[in-house]
């Protein structure tokens, strides 16, 4: 049950687009379309932003999008806003009713 691999940090300026990667294996990300992304602001509970690779829950801005290629999933945020500054975590189903997370990525909006 090794964690998924995410960059420790990414940054961008308001209005720009950024992409956060999430790399797993063919036992998790590569084998299931059950990748999700959560946003966590400091001191708050996580919030679901993307599920099943590319689906947005109701109420989540369409500036957030997800995709997957092979063993790597990606979260793209377009039109960066200051309120997007947060930690982002990917997670994936691994089979056997187990779910794992990535180590998290700190997004800084400069």
Partner 1 sequence: EVQLLESGGDLVQPGGSLRLSCAASGFSFGTYSMNWVRQVPGKGLDWVSGASGSGGSINYADSVKGRFTMSRDNSKNTVYLQMNSLRAEDTAVYHCAKGVDFFVGSTFDYWGQGVLVTVSS
Which of 4, 32, 30, 14 lies closest to 105, judged by CA? Answer: 4
- Stretch 24-63: interaction string toward partner 1, x if CB under 8 A: ----------x-x-x-x---xxxxx--xx----x------
Number of residues that bind partner 1 (CB under 8 A): 28
| Smallest separation (angstroms) from partner 1 to the CB of 68 | 14
| Smallest separation (angstroms) from partner 1 to the CB of 100 | 6
- Are 105 and 87 within 8 A, CB to CB? yes
Q: Is the dihedral of CA 30, 36, 40, 45 positive or negative?
A: negative
Options 12-20, 65-73, 75-83, 85-93: segment touching partner 1 (CB under 8 A): 85-93
**15 touching partner 1, by CB under 8 A:** no
Half-sphere exposure at residue 50, Cβ-oriented, CA atoms within 13 angstroms: 26
């Amino acid at each position: 049950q090794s964690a998924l691999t995410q960059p420790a940090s990414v940054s961008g300026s308001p209005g720009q687009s950024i992409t956060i990667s999430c790399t797993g294996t063919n036992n998790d990300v590569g084998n299931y379309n059950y990748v999700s992304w959560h946003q966590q602001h400091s001191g708050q509970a996580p919030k679901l932003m993307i599920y099943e690779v590319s689906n947005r829950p109701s109420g989540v801005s369409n500036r957030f999008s997800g995709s997957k290629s092979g063993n790597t999933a990606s979260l793209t945020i377009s039109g960066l806003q200051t309120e997007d500054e947060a930690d982002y975590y990917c997670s994936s189903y691994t089979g056997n009713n187990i779910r794992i997370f990535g180590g998290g990525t700190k997004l800084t909006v400069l």
